[in-house]
Structure 1
């Protein structure tokens, strides 16, 4: 039974049981404390907590998930994968324990010919929470499961929560017995390798808080209604139904593994470590492809860092399998072909996805080349110093700064006949992980308690009237101060205000929140921010400028008209730039993020090369031609399917419901799904001036532009500068570039001549300086202040020349000067001086200390400086004194 068929049977079964089938949410979680959707329940948390009313009392879904906390186990066990799909059925205040257990058992044990999954009930075991008598009784008395195949376990195994404050509850897990060849008998409590968990039935009834660990938390109350959250691991069921050994050999994953085998020329199933690497490749390629398809791009932070790590672990594994050539084009193609039936977007966006993958592989290959050079130098230094072990700190530097994997470091070191201090490296990695965990815990602590919005959201959605009006009369539904609902807020306080209707735009889709005020009888509120803390609810963060405001007061929202107009211009200009990019670069140049505020727009897009000046000008020209053409801007509210049929583009990072807002500029020329505010015709934008184009990652670029009056003011300022330059250089505007280039050429020639004169002048000073040498102890010493100098390099060059002129007798040269107002000292010693104990590094630290600074260097030459130029003579005298008394 193929993976897609298992999923369809599940969804069909629950649809017949009056469940609403909903699509998978994005892998990019809406929860600010989570980078990814780590479990099937994450998108359902607003419904489970009652903050947002569920669209139906019963729901079923197939949810994409990413979890990387066990990444080191990938490939080593049958069940660990970074990307997985969780089938779930949900009840929000409808059926509870008995219903969930009955449904699960019916689907699992119904024959395949009758639409079920065809498991033999003799192979199934269950566990229940240690105090859950009710669940055990249902399994025993209602289902008829033998008591010896029902086991009670504690919090670590049979209590489910997200690891953060929110919903939780006891669960009952269903296990499949794989047989005696996989381990010992005795049920799940005895061996979780032989007995494989396939379905988890969570009885959501508690609110938990103060989480101190997996089993250490406080149950602070009950959920407003009892809910059911179940999760059946699609990959686990698939490998059982397909008769293979693990999830990596199922129909959606095995094609990548097989392609890796072909590219490497090594067999699968012959060498354990190679098998682990093949499975890592198969898992990580699929995970990377799915993350790319949800808009994540490789970077050095956040979600992008996780994706980059997965992709680079893949490159590393292929290298260890003997594949040094680029492999992503082949591997990602194999994954796309295996997954496209379940996720058609992979086929639709293939050009963009494959380009991003190839760009990241090429970037890492360059990183490996650079890291190899640095590693070779480190190994060479270790050998020269007589060592046999590369330090853990150097290995960590290669890993952390250059992305060079530790196992490659160890491999190269072994080839060079050296060891790596792996324990020291592991300790540095442990410390880094602890810092990361502390940061994650901090993020969780900062997570807003959205339960405060539950009652407000239950009253209905906030009506946004701002598409057509700049002011509207409304009513204060709620006031929140410091996270606590209150009845009123007084002058000087900052509060959140929830209204029944508003014209103030809440930040979303890259467009920042409106500016404005909320006024009423006896109060005026300055709007600081507008957000959507939970779906359907708009919250205004305000400063109470005057008076006091209370719940149920009538109020009027007033949008700052000038700011809104400039924001509309910028947002519409973003659509023009997007369309111009696709006209110029092709359909693979798609949005990867944006920011729109009054008079300014920033647009990130998928592209791996800098834009030429000509291309940048062409994009700007296309956008401004669209402005000149006064294209009509229309908006329609349509179904998501209808919008897709019309070719509307979805914007990066946006989540869409069944009904969407589609914005057309010039009909199909620019057609996007967008909830932002826009102009009525493109001519209202006024002007688009592209002011920057830069890299924001290996496969992403960024265009920045000023819009409307901001663009005009910027161009006017540039015109003034050009006029001033033209007058100063006595050159017409069209000849300015040539005139400046000519002046630069003359300047370089003059600087070259000046450098030659200065070098000649310095050389002329060498004899006199050498002749000024005095005896200090057993050394000949030159200790002289040169006064004002061009740079520290001038002092260094002169010190080395004087040292050469003093010959083989033990000699020390200490020269000082003042460069750009700061004192500098350079000390040089010859072989004889060093043999007698004079070390330039130690001497320069002594003299620099007199200057109020520091310095360092090698025994033969060292440099230092400070802040007190008046102490330069004393600093040089300190060197002479030290040598005299040595």
Structure 2
């Protein structure tokens, strides 16, 4: 049974049983405590907690998920995958334990011919929470499971919570017994891979607080409604129904594994370690493709870092399989073909998605090459010193700074006949992980408990009137002071105000929040921020500037009209620039993020190379031509499918409801899904002045522009600068570029002549410096400060010349101030090195006195620091080090 067929049978069954079928949410969640949708329940948290009224009493879905907390287990077990699909059925105050158990058992054990999944009851086991007698008795009454196949387990396995304050409850898990060939007898309690968990039924009935860990919390009481949250792993069902040993061999994953086998020339099933690598490649490539399809791009932090890590682990695994060159063109195409029937976007957007993947691969292959050079140097230094291993700190630096995988380091070092101080490396890794966990815990502690908004949201959605009105009369529904509900707020306090209606725009879609006031009888509130803490609810963060505001009072939201007008200009300009980019670069230049505020817009888009000046000028001209043409701006609210059929652009990673707001500028020329505020015609934008273009990733560029009066002010400032230059240089403005280039060339030539003069001046001191050589034990030492020098290279050249003139046993240390910083160059000859004088160690000694660092080869090395006045002391310290070495 194909994976897609299993999913369809599941959805068909629950639709037949009165469930609303909900499409999968994005892998990118708007939950501030999470980077990704890590479980099927994440999109439903507001309904399960009661913060937002559920739009349906019961639902079912197939939710895309990403989870990387067990990433080290990928490929080693039959069931661990970073991307997975979770089939779920949900009840929001409708049916409870009996309904959930009845539905699960019926679907699992009904024959395939009758639309079920066709599991034999004798292969199924069930676990329940040890104190949940009700669930135990229901399993006995509703099914033919014998007592010995219903196991009671503790809170660590059969009690569910997010680890944060909110909903929780006991759960019941259903397991499939793969048979004695896969492990020991004893059921799920053995925690053996023989028993595969396929379905978890969570009976969400309690609210918890004071959460110290997953198992240590306080139950406050029962939730307003008892809910059902279930999750059935689609990949786990697939590998069982397809008769394969693990999820990596199912129809949606195996094609990538097979492609990796062909590229490597190795055989799958012949070697355990290689098999794990093949599975890692198959899993990580699919996960990367799905993350890219939901708008995530590789970067060094947050979601982008997770994606980058997955890609680099796949590249590393292919390298360990013997493939050093690029492989993503083949692997990602194989994943696309395997996933496109279930997720058409991976085929429709493949040109864009693969561009990111191929760019990331090329970057990391260069990183591996650079890391290999650093590692080779560490190996050579270890061998020269007679060491048998390289330090853990060096291995960690390669891993942490250069992204060089530790197992690749171990492999290369082992081939060189050395080892790595793995204990030291592991200690540094543990310290880094501890810091990351502490940061994550801190972030969770700082999150507001959204349950405080529950009662406000239960009164309905906040009505936004700001598309047409800049003032709206309403009522204060609620107040929060210091994050807690309050009846009033007085002068000087910061509070959150919930209104039934508001004209103030809440930050979203790249557009920053409105500025403005909230006024009422006897009070004035300055609006500091406007946000949507839970879907459908607008919260205004305010400072009470006068009077006292209370719950139930009338209040009028007043938008700062000038700021709103400028923000609208910027947002509409963003749409114009997007359309101009697509006109100029093609349809693959899709949006990857934006920011709009009064007078300024920033737009990120998929593109892999710097824009030429001519291209930037063309984009700017197209956008301003659209302003000149005074194109009509229209908005429509319509079904999502209809908007997409009309060609409306949707931002990847954004969530859209069944109905959407579509913004047209000039008809289909610019047609995007957008909830922001806009001008009524393009001429109102005024002027768009592109002021910046830069890279924000391997395949993402950013353009920045000033808009409206801010754009005019920038151009006026530039005009003033040009006027000043024409006056100072007595050159017409059209000849300024040539004149400035001429002056720059003259300056460069003068600097070159000065540098030559200073170098000759230094060289003229050669006999004088050589004559200062003093005997220190077996060494002839020159340790002199030169004053100032044009460059460290000049000092290095002179040190080498002095070394040649001094003769056998020469140790030359010359110090100079180069610019604002001191530098010391140390040069030794063969005889001196034979006596133990190594330039690198001596340079470090001097640099320590200068407040910096240094090092290098044994024959020539350099040190530096920040304290130029300490140069004489640094040279004295170097000389004393030689005296100590010869004592």
TM bucket by the smaller chain?
Answer: over 0.9
Instruction: Find the counterpart in structure 1 of residue 85 from structure 2.
Output: 85
Establish whether residue 325 from structure 1 lines up as the match of residue 325 from structure 2.
yes
Q: Give 3-state SS (helix, strand or coil) of 2:188's partner.
A: coil
Residues 1:266 and 1:866: Cα distance change in structure 2 (over 3 Å): closer
Greater CA drift, 383-392 or 31-40: 383-392
Paired position in structure 2 for 1:255: 255
Q: Pick closer, same or farther for the CA change 1:821–1:174 going to 2, 3 Å.
A: closer
Q: Structure 1 residues 770 and 661, CA, compared in 2 at 3 Å: closer, same or farther?
A: same
Cα shift at 1:763: 2.4
Q: Which deviates more from structure 2 when the two are superposed, residues 111-120 or residues 836-845?
A: 836-845
> Within 5 A, what are the aligned runs for 1:622-701?
622-701=622-701
1:150–1:682 CA distance, 2 compared to 1 (3 A): same
Q: 1:697 to 1:862 in 2, by over 3 A?
A: closer
Q: Name the CA shift for 1:176/1:819 in 2 (closer, same or farther; >3 Å).
A: closer
Structure 1 stretch 483-492 or stretch 648-657: which is displaced more? 648-657
Q: 1:269 to 1:143 in 2, by over 3 A?
A: same
Partner of 1:748: 748
Q: TM-score, normalised by structure 1?
A: 0.94
Q: Name the residue aligned to 1:196.
A: 196
Secondary structure class of the residue paired with 2:765? helix
What's the CA shift for 1:117? 1.3
SS at match of 1:468: coil
1:43 aligns with 2:37: no
Number of the residue aligned with 2:17: 17
Rounded to whole Å, the distance in 1 between the matches of 2:644 and 2:836 is: 81
Structure 1 pair 174–780 and aligned structure 2 pair: CA distance change class (3 A):
closer
Distance 1:190 1:478 in 2: 52
How much does 1:208 deviate?
A: 2.2
Deviations 1:730-760 (A, max 9, x none): 3222222222222222222222222222222
For residue 110 of structure 1, what is the aligned residue in structure 2? 110
Shift in Å at residue 507 of structure 1?
0.4
- Work out whether residues 239 and 245 of structure 2, in 8 Å CA contact, stay in contact via their aligned partners in 1: yes
* Alpha-carbon distance in structure 1 between the residues aligned to 2:459 and 2:339: 41
Distance 1:562 1:265 in 2: 66
Counterpart of 1:515 in structure 2 is 515
Change (3 A) 1:233 1:479: same
Deviation string, structure 1 residues 837-867 (Cα, Å, up to 9, x no partner) = 9888898899889x98567657877656665
State how far apart, in whole Å, the 1-side matches of 2:832 and 2:496 are. Answer: 75
Please state how far the C-alpha of 1:826 moved relative to its aligned partner: 6.5
Q: Structure 1 residue 621: deviation in Å? A: 1.3
Q: CA deviation at 1:388?
A: 2.4
Which residue in the other structure is 2:64 paired with?
64
Name the CA shift for 1:473/1:868 in 2 (closer, same or farther; >3 Å).
Answer: same
Q: Residue 370 of structure 2 aligns with which residue?
A: 370
Q: Are positions 1:294 and 2:294 aligned together?
A: yes
Q: 2:356: which partner in 1?
A: 356
Partner of 1:176, secondary structure, is: strand
Deviations 1:693-719 (A, max 9, x none): 111111111111111111111111111
1:376-409 superposed Cα distances (whole Å, 9 cap, x missing partner): 2222222222222222222222121112222222
Per the alignment, residue 235 of structure 1 pairs with 235
Q: Which SS does the other structure have where 2:21 is aligned?
A: strand
User: Quick check: 2:817–2:868 contact (8 Å CA) kept in 1?
Assistant: no
1:425-504 residue pairs with structure 2 within 5 A?
A: 425-504=425-504
Deviations 1:664-700 (A, max 9, x none): 0110011110000111111111111111111111111
Q: Is the 8 A contact 1:825 1:865 kept in 2?
A: no
Aligned residue for 1:189, secondary structure, equals helix
1:874 Cα deviation after fit = 8.1
Which structure 2 residues correspond to residues 725-736 of structure 1 after superposition, within 5 A?
725-736=725-736
Alignment CA distance shift 1:243-1:825 (3 Å): closer
The residue correspondences of 1:613-624 to structure 2 (distance < 5 A) are: 613-624=613-624
Tell me what 1:381 maps to.
381
Of 550-559 and 724-733, more deviation after overlay is shown by 724-733
Shift of 1:504: 0.8
Check 1:266–1:14 CA distance in 2 against 1; reply closer, same or farther (3 A cut).
same
CA distance in 2, matches of 1:305, 1:68: 12
Contact 1:848 1:866 in 2 (8 A): no
1:584 matched residue in structure 2: 584
Check whether the contact 1:855–1:865 (CA below 8 A) recurs between aligned residues. Answer: yes
How much does 1:299 deviate? 1.0
1:417 is displaced (CA, Å) by 2.4
Aligned residues: 883
* Offset, 1:771: 5.2
Q: CA deviation at 1:179?
A: 1.8
> Does 1:306 find its partner at 2:299?
no
Moved more, 184-193 or 445-454: 184-193
Q: Does the C-alpha gap of structure 1 residues 513 and 253 become closer, same or farther in structure 2, counting only changes over 3 Å? A: same
The alpha-carbon distance between structure 1 residues 758 and 448, as it changes in their structure 2 partners (threshold 3 A), is same
Query: Residue 796 of structure 1: CA displacement?
Result: 5.7
Secondary structure of residue in 2 paired with 1:713: helix
Contact 1:812–1:827 (CA under 8 A) maintained in structure 2: yes
User: Are the counterparts in 1 of residues 846 and 863 from structure 2 also a CA contact under 8 Å?
Assistant: no
Cα deviation digits, residues 519-548 of structure 1 (max 9, x gap): 112111111110000000000111111111
Distance across 2 between alignment mates of 1:81 and 1:614: 47
The Cα offsets for residues 617-641 of structure 1, whole Å up to 9 and x where unpaired, read as 1111111111111111100011111
Give the Cα–Cα distance (whole angstroms) in 2 for the partners of residues 109 and 739 of structure 1.
Answer: 85
CA distance in 2, matches of 1:752, 1:50: 74
Further displaced range: 490-499 or 348-357: 348-357
The secondary structure found in structure 2 opposite 1:544 is: strand
C-alpha separation between the residues in 2 aligned to 1:673 and 1:146?
55
In structure 2, the residue matched to 1:422 is: 422
TM superposition shift of 1:107: 1.1
CA–CA distance in structure 2, aligned partners of residues 853 and 41 of structure 1: 55
User: How far apart are 1:200 and its partner, in Å?
Assistant: 0.9
2:766 & 2:295 partners in 1: Cα distance? 65
Q: Are 1:184 and 1:191, in contact at CA under 8 Å, matched by a contact in 2? A: no
Q: Deviations over 1:26-74 (max 9, x none)?
A: 1111111111111111111100110000001111111111111111111
Q: Is contact 1:569-1:708 (8 Å) kept? A: yes
Matching of residue 7 in structure 1 with residue 37 in structure 2: no
Distance in 1, matches of 2:323 and 2:776, equals 65
Distance 1:68 1:866 in 2: 44
Superposition deviation, residue 835 in structure 1 = 8.1
- Superposed CA offset, 1:332-377 (max 9, x none): 1221222112112222212211222111111111112222222222
* Matching residue of 1:141: 141
Task: Work out whether residues 770 and 782 of structure 2, in 8 Å CA contact, stay in contact via their aligned partners in 1.
Answer: yes
Quote the residue 1:121 is aligned against. 121
Structure 1 residue 250 displacement after superposition:
1.4
CA RMSD across the alignment: 2.8
Q: Is the 8 A contact 2:847 2:854 kept in 1?
A: no
TM-score by length of 2: 0.94
C-alpha separation in 1, matches of 2:403 and 2:882: 47
For residues 672 and 140 of structure 2, the distance between their equivalents in structure 1, rounded to whole angstroms, comes to 55
Change (3 A) 1:196 1:852: closer
Q: What is the deviation of 1:143? A: 2.8
Shift of 1:803: 5.2
Aligned residue for 2:536?
A: 536
C-alpha contact (below 8 Å) 1:603/1:703 kept by paired residues = yes
Instruction: Determine the C-alpha separation between the residues in 2 that align with 1:776 and 1:347.
Output: 74
Structure 1 CA distance for aligned equivalents of residues 258 and 28 of structure 2 = 29
Secondary structure of 1:148's match? helix
Call closer, same or farther: CA 1:153–1:555 in 2, change over 3 Å.
same
- CA-to-aligned-CA distance 1:455-509 (integer Å, 9 cap, x gap): 0000111111111111111111111011100011111111111111111110000
Which range moved further: 548-557 or 176-185?
A: 176-185
Which sections of structure 2, spanning at least 5 residues, go unmatched?
none
- Kept in 1: contact 2:255–2:335 (CA 8 A): yes
Paired with 1:407 and 1:822, the residues of 2 have a C-alpha distance of 40
Residues 784/158 of structure 1: CA separation in 2 closer, same or farther (3 Å cut): closer
Query: Match of 2:219, SS?
Result: strand
Distance 2:785 2:70 in 1: 63
